[in-house]
């Protein structure tokens, strides 16, 4: 199996809204497996299909310290969010080395299909809840820098463009 290329901010393809997946077939299972391999190799805790230029509603994640509980979420929908919010530093594999504070719901419930097409509901708190919200934003064409001030966002964009030029 081979890893996938992760799009880097400010690549405009990261702004694409992902389309629902009609059927969980071998193609989707293969993409999910390659996304997990890419996420683990990149030391990430989550990776949305949008970030690897696949514009379908799917993301993978593993927020465990042991890195041994991979989750594949296909056609995810938030069914409940807590009123309580939490604020913490977030990073992103599409914006490597950049971290900033983002406010998120402290707890969420997400309904999604797994890699076998079975529907399940996950009740998440802490890092897992933050990761779910972060990856779902990707599926809507949104990045964590969109929560920052225009000044901060433009500084990050400039830094990423300089980095890309070498």
pLDDT, tens digit, 9 for 90 and up, residues 103-153? 999 999 999 999 999 999 999 999 999 999 999 999 999 999 999 999 999
> Is 135 marked active-site?
yes
Tell me the pairing of strands 71-81 and 107-113. antiparallel
- In the annotated binding site, the residues are 92, 134, 138
Phi-psi region of 67 (alpha: psi -120 to 50; beta: other; left: phi over 0): left
Q: Is 7 within a domain?
A: no
Q: Is 130 within a domain?
A: yes
Q: Phi and psi (nearest 5°) for 17?
A: -85, 125
Residue numbers of the domain that contains 152: 12-164
Mean pLDDT to the nearest integer, 87-116: 97
pLDDT value of residue 1: 73
Which member of 56, 90, 115, 135 is catalytic?
Answer: 135
Looking at the DSSP assignment, which residues form a beta bridge with residue 122? 110
Residue 124's CATH number? 3.90.45.10
Mean pLDDT to the nearest integer, 33-47: 98
Q: Is 65 within a domain?
A: yes
Residue 49: pLDDT over 80: yes
- In the annotated binding site for Fe cation, the residues are 92, 134, 138
- 3-class DSSP state of 133: helix
pLDDT value of residue 158: 96
Q: Is 2 within a domain?
A: no
Q: Is 62 within a domain?
A: yes
Q: State the total domains in the chain.
A: 1
pLDDT, tens digit, 9 for 90 and up, residues 51-82? 999 999 999 999 999 999 999 999 999 999 99
């Amino acid at each position: 199996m081979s890893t996938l290329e992760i799009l880097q901010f400010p690549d405009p393809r990261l702004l694409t809204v992902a389309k629902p997946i009609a059927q969980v077939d071998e193609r989707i299972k293969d993409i999910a497996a390659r996304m997990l391999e890419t996420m683990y190799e990149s030391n990430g805790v989550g990776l949305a299909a949008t970030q690897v230029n696949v514009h379908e509603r799917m993301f993978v994640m593993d927020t465990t310290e042991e890195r041994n509980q991979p989750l594949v979420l296909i056609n995810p929908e938030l069914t409940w969010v807590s009123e309580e919010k939490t604020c913490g530093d977030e990073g992103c594999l599409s914006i490597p080395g950049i971290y900033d504070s983002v406010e998120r719901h402290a707890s969420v419930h997400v309904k999604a299909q797994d890699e076998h097409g079975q529907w399940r509901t996950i009740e998440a708190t802490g890092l897992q809840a933050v990761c779910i919200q972060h990856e779902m934003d990707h599926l809507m064409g949104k990045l964590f820098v969109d929560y920052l001030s225009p000044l901060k966002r433009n500084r990050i964009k400039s830094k990423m463009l300089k980095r890309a030029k070498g």
